[in-house]
């Protein structure tokens, strides 16, 4: 199976893809490229971030991203803020009244609930669950979460278990159980880990992935190696030029890093056969993403 077909298979059959990885290595770009490809495959796709500064809008050509879903054809975007998630949970899962609108808008009430450890993360997962499974309007076929960096993402994914073991009862516990069971369904949900083929990043991935696999209800679907250098050819540059030597040195370090990753995963159950997608280094990328750019990015380093 080619890389493009394997990616298309994920995009066609899943309802939720959670994207994580070390900060600053291209998670948002990968999330948006996957969304663009999924739309091209005929799916209705919602891309979600939870960020202080909007990032997905410029890449997808949709301005004014807010907590409410904003759609352009089959592509939607949203920034699910903690305050908005809290209000949605109260009004959509518990009850709806003008009084509740006043209560959940109160700064003191909001500060109290968001101070509870894991509460903000739980509300985010619940909001995504609602969008896919319960929303009365037309629902997305696929949600892609441009997720937190690794450590915070692990906290996000372990929140349901923490709540279920907390001794809480009532609607919050019931909703948490529904969300966890859905996240644990490998037919519907998967997480993607984004890395780059550099020694330090690979070392962190080798340490982090087994922990994530053991603690997260959602199964890992693939590792995405971003910014992979294509094979260096001396033609046109000269085999002794400084540019060629720099590129050849980077290519060697990349090969060693990928070998290190393969060796680190080789003895780990469920991780040794995890698909690895190699995305090429494209340099500066124009916004918004074009279909040609997405094809080059997801097509691999061929």
For the chain, domain boundaries: 3-230+275-298
What pLDDT is recorded for position 116? 53
What pLDDT is recorded for position 109? 47
What pLDDT is recorded for position 88? 76
What pLDDT is recorded for position 99? 46
Q: Is 34 exposed, middle or buried (0-12, 13-18, 19+ CB in 10 A)?
A: buried
What pLDDT is recorded for position 96? 52
CA 137 – CA 63 distance, rounded (Å)? 22
CA nearest to 48, candidates 117, 105, 125, 108: 125
238: left (phi over 0), alpha (psi -120 to 50) or beta: left
What pLDDT is recorded for position 103? 47
Point out which residues pair with 194 in neighbouring strands. 21, 224
What pLDDT is recorded for position 235? 53
C-beta separation of 64 from 94 below 8 A: no
What pLDDT is recorded for position 290? 96
Q: What CATH code is assigned to 3-230+275-298?
A: 3.40.50.300
Q: How many CA atoms lie within 13 A of 168 on its CB side?
A: 17
pLDDT tens digits in sequence order for the chain, 302 residues long: 799 999 999 999 999 999 999 999 999 999 999 999 999 999 999 999 998 778 999 999 999 999 999 999 999 999 998 777 777 776 665 555 454 454 445 554 445 455 555 778 888 999 999 999 999 889 999 999 999 999 999 999 999 998 888 776 677 788 889 999 999 999 999 999 999 999 999 999 999 999 999 999 999 999 999 999 876 665 555 556 787 788 888 899 999 999 999 999 998 988 999 999 999 999 999 999 999 999 999 998 76
Q: Which residues contact 141 (CB under 8 A, 6 or more apart)?
A: 15, 38, 43, 44, 45
Q: Model-level pTM?
A: 0.90
């Amino acid at each position: 199976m080619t890389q493009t077909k394997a990616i298309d298979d994920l995009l066609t059959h899943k309802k939720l893809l959670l994207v994580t990885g070390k900060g600053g290595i291209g998670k948002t770009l990968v999330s948006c490229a996957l969304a663009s490809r999924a739309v091209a495959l005929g799916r209705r796709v919602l891309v979600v971030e939870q960020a202080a500064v909007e990032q997905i809008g410029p890449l997808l050509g949709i301005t004014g991203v807010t907590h409410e879903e904003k759609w352009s054809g089959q592509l939607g975007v949203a920034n699910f803020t903690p305050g908005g998630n809290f209000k949605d949970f109260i009004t959509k899962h518990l009850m709806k009244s003008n009084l509740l609108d006043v209560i959940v808008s109160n700064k003191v009430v909001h500060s109290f609930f968001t101070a509870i450890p894991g509460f903000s993360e739980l509300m985010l997962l619940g909001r995504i669950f609602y969008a896919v499974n319960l929303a009365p309007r037309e629902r997305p076929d696929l949600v892609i979460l441009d997720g937190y960096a690794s450590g915070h993402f692990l906290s996000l994914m372990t929140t349901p278990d923490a709540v279920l073991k907390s001794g809480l009862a009532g609607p919050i516990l019931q909703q948490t159980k529904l969300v966890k069971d859905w996240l644990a369904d490998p037919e519907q949900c998967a997480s993607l880990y984004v890395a780059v083929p550099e020694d330090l990043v690979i070392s962190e991935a080798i340490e982090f992935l087994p922990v994530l696999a053991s603690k997260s209800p959602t199964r890992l679907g693939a590792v995405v190696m971003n910014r992979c250098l294509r094979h260096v050819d001396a033609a046109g540059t000269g085999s002794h030029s400084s540019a060629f030597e720099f590129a050849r040195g980077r290519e060697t370090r990349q090969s060693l890093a990928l070998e290190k990753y393969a060796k680190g995963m080789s003895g780990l159950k469920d991780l040794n056969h995890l698909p690895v997608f190699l995305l090429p280094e494209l340099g500066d990328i124009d916004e918004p993403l074009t279909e040609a750019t997405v094809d080059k990015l997801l097509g691999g380093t061929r």
